[in-house]
């Protein structure tokens, strides 16, 4: 936990949770401001007047053993100081607190408490999803599948990327999603060569792949799916071949997912197929990522990942080939790791034209 | 710039911008990952393979004098080290870099460069909006006004809060918004006592105020407006009086906005009216905030604010009264500070029933 050369810090006697998603995971609270002290004998959420009623309701609903302090800025500092007054050392979420705040805590809020950087403590708990969490992600996946089935025919009317994206988002909300789980990607023709293209005012034409990457949000949980579709065939032979190669690559990745398997080996399974096709350099991103309360969370499915899959992990498998100036292809499922492999939660057919 | 007791750092020879909105402001780049080195003779954006094409296009479109380095994680570190190799000291955005990243930069990436915490450098530039920025915010306000006018009649059919919210969001997108500028608030009846209530499955009933707080996003710029409406009058006499009090308070706040005026005095103008009505404790938040590329940015319009208004600032004025168990009222405009006062950019009538 210590960087080289620093004196050994005392073992932390408490954790101050500042990541709002982690606070939600631990307490049920969904407000946009708050900090949670997790101490040996109590957990205390400090938030402001906008969220007083809501915080008490949500924590009661979740049955979380936390108390709520509602206070303005000056009073928040006082309450925090009181909670930390007996602590020789307090763990902070180093990846979820700004340097500015850590400095203020160190010199002003808690001058006689040693602040200890930690990483991934709550995220570690969040990796393995319980049945209720999987059910929410599965419902988010189902909504995305159904929404795409409903709106797919509109592509034949040459909508703009932005028009198609907003109808897709609206359908997901009509079907019960709180909203999209991230900004929907609709990338047609040459735009599909950009993995994270924002839907624009270009009309979607015939004869070229259209990358649709989107998901739904259900009770805080995300889904994530990419399909590459087209209207009246694909003209370019390289892109036709890319569709086939990515399909085989993605299937190889899903087939590799199982408990005990290294995430880097799932990446390798996808990457080998694409490399053999001569497009090693055209697969410009990692193979996938965990999905849960965040659209991108642990574990990472990439060549550099040191993670190993476990039952209850929910990850994406999403290889792609991008040919600048020409177009691109990506196919992605969200899958849950099971005892004997994995179960895809997204189920839209991959040969959807 | 130094905390007490620290040795004086050398004057920074460069700034590493890590806040993505600040990067967008300076270069036009809208990707979700990147860091921008602003050095004496050059500006260099480092991003990853997902954003290579997009970064080059957007920087060219914006005419920004920046070059782009596209690289994976390992190569990003190398590029950054090369750029920083001659620097004795480098400024970081302390409020927009995590403690974890600062620690990695300090011990691993840039061990022989002194890292200097700075705050608000780019945000300072962003406070005063130029004509093009005001035009985008004004268009976002116009879209919000028009969308509300279109969907207001649906309230008579007793939709749920969530249903009404998603139709409002959809209309904003139909009218040209990229999306809502934040999660739309629809709070009816007792829910309106929660300033940041999330739209729920409750049907919107008659006889109680409904707080609608929402905005549109146009070319990256936000609008922000709140109106309190109702269906067939308001039954409770306290709430009827609150509507009148908040209306007078909000008008007093808008009337106080002018260049040279302290933001705290605008807050005071609003707060006095509400205090005189006996509801000092029921106005549980600040009066407003700046609006621009972020929905909440400088300057702050609050009792504790040390800011003074200047021509070109765009701020909200949004007093409210919240009566737990009963309901709430809030009214908000986005206004631009002009030579002789201010010009409201949101224009939906405040007596909209």
For A191-250, how does the pLDDT look when each residue is reduced to its tens digit (9 = 90+)?
A: 999 988 888 888 999 999 999 999 999 999 999 999 999 999 999 999 999 999 999 999
A75 touches chain B (CB under 8 A): no
Report the gap between the CA of A50 and the closest CA in chain B (Å): 5
Residues 213-242 (B) with a CB less than 8 A from some CB of A: none
Q: Is the pLDDT of residue A1 over 90?
A: no
Q: Does B2 touch chain A (CB under 8 A)?
A: no
CB-closest option in B95, B193, B196 to A32: B196
Please determine, for residue B3, whether its predicted confidence score (pLDDT) is greater than 50: no
Other C-beta atoms closer than 10 Å to the C-beta of A229 total 19
Residue in A98, A219, A285 to test binding to B, most B beta-carbons within 10 Å: A98
pLDDT at B50 (0 to 100): 84
Question: Which chain B residues are Cβ-neighbours of A33 within 8 angstroms?
Answer: none
Helices (H), chain A: 20-27, 52-62, 73-84, 99-104, 121-127, 131-151, 161-174, 237-256, 263-276
pLDDT at B137 over 50: yes
Distance between CA B319 and CA B330 in Å, rounded?
6
- Is B324 an interface residue toward A (CB < 8 Å)? yes
Count of beta carbons in the 10 Å neighbourhood of residue A183: 16
| Chain segment A90-143, per-residue pLDDT in tens | 999 999 999 999 999 999 999 999 999 999 999 999 999 999 999 999 999 999
**Interface-testing mutation among B6, B98, B185, B283, with chain A (most A C-beta atoms within 10 A):** B98
CA distance A119 to A93: 6
Count helices and strands in chain A by DSSP H and E runs:
9, 19
Q: Which residues in chain A are closer than 8 Å to B285, comparing Cβ atoms?
A: 48-50
Identify the pLDDT of residue B346.
98
What whole-number distance in Å separates Cα of residue B150 and Cα of residue B158? 16
The answer to whether the CB atoms of B284 and A50 lie below 8 A apart is yes
Instruction: Name every residue whose Cβ is closer than 8 Å to that of residue A219 and which is 6 or more positions away in sequence.
Output: A136, A178
Name the packing angle between helices B52-62 and B20-27 (round to 10°): 50
Average pLDDT of the residues in A184-193: 95
Q: Measured in whole angstroms, how far is the alpha carbon of residue A242 from the centre of its chain?
A: 26
In this prediction, residue A2 carries a pLDDT of 40
| Closest CB to B170 among A3, A107, A170 | A170
- CA distance linking residue A38 with residue A86, whole number of Å: 14
Question: Quick one: pLDDT at residue A278?
Answer: 97
The structure tokens listed for A186 are: 């609709």
Nearest CA in chain A to B117: A100
Contact B333, B317 (CB under 8 A): yes
Q: How far is CA A214 from CA A140, A185, A295, B338, in A?
A: 11, 6, 10, 42
d(CA B42, nearest CA chain A) in Å? 26
Q: Is the pTM of this model over 0.80?
A: yes
On whether any CB of chain B is under 8 Å from the CB of A32, the answer is yes
Whether A198 and chain B come into contact, CB under 8 Å, resolves to yes
Nearest to B151 by CA among B136, B173, B135, B181: B173
Q: Could you say which residues from 85 to 144 on chain B have a Cβ atom under 8 Å away from some Cβ of chain A?
A: 92, 94-103, 107, 117, 119
Distance CA A182, CA A184 (A): 6
Mean pLDDT of chain B: 94
């Amino acid at each position: 936990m210590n960087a080289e050369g620093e004196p050994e810090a005392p073992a932390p006697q408490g954790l101050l949770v500042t990541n709002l998603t982690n606070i939600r995971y631990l307490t049920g609270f969904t407000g946009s401001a708050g900090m949670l002290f997790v101490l040996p004998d109590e957990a205390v959420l400090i938030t402001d007047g906008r969220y007083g009623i809501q915080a008490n309701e949500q924590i009661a609903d979740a049955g979380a053993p936390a108390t709520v302090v509602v206070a303005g800025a000056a009073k928040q500092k006082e309450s925090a100081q009181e909670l930390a007054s007996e602590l020789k050392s307090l763990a902070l979420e180093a990846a979820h607190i700004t340097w500015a705040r850590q400095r203020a805590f160190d010199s002003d809020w808690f001058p006689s408490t040693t602040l200890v950087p930690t990483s991934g403590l709550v995220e570690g708990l969040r990796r393995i999803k319980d049945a209720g969490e999987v059910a929410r992600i599965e419902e988010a996946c189902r909504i995305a599948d159904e929404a795409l089935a409903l709106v797919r025919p509109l592509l034949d009317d040459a909508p703009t990327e932005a028009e198609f994206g907003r109808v897709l988002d609206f359908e997901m909300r009509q079907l019960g999603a709180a909203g999209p789980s991230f900004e929907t990607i609709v990338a047609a023709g040459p735009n599909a060569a950009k993995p994270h293209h924002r839907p624009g005012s270009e009309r979607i034409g015939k004869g070229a792949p259209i990358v649709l990457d989107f998901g739904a949000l259900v009770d805080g949980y995300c889904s994530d799916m990419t399909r590459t579709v087209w209207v009246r065939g694909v003209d370019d032979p390289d892109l036709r071949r890319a569709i086939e190669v990515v399909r085989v690559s993605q299937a190889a990745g899903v087939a590799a997912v199982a408990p005990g398997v290294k995430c880097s080996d799932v990446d390798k399974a996808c990457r080998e197929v694409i490399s053999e096709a001569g497009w090693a350099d055209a697969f410009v991103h990692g193979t996938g990522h965990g999905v849960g309360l965040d659209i991108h969370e642990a574990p990472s499915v990439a060549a550099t990942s040191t993670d190993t899959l476990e039952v209850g992990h929910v990850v994406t498998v999403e290889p792609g080939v991008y040919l600048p100036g020409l177009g691109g292809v990506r196919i992605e499922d969200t899958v849950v790791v099971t005892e004997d492999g994995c179960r895809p939660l997204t189920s839209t057919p991959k040969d959807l034209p």
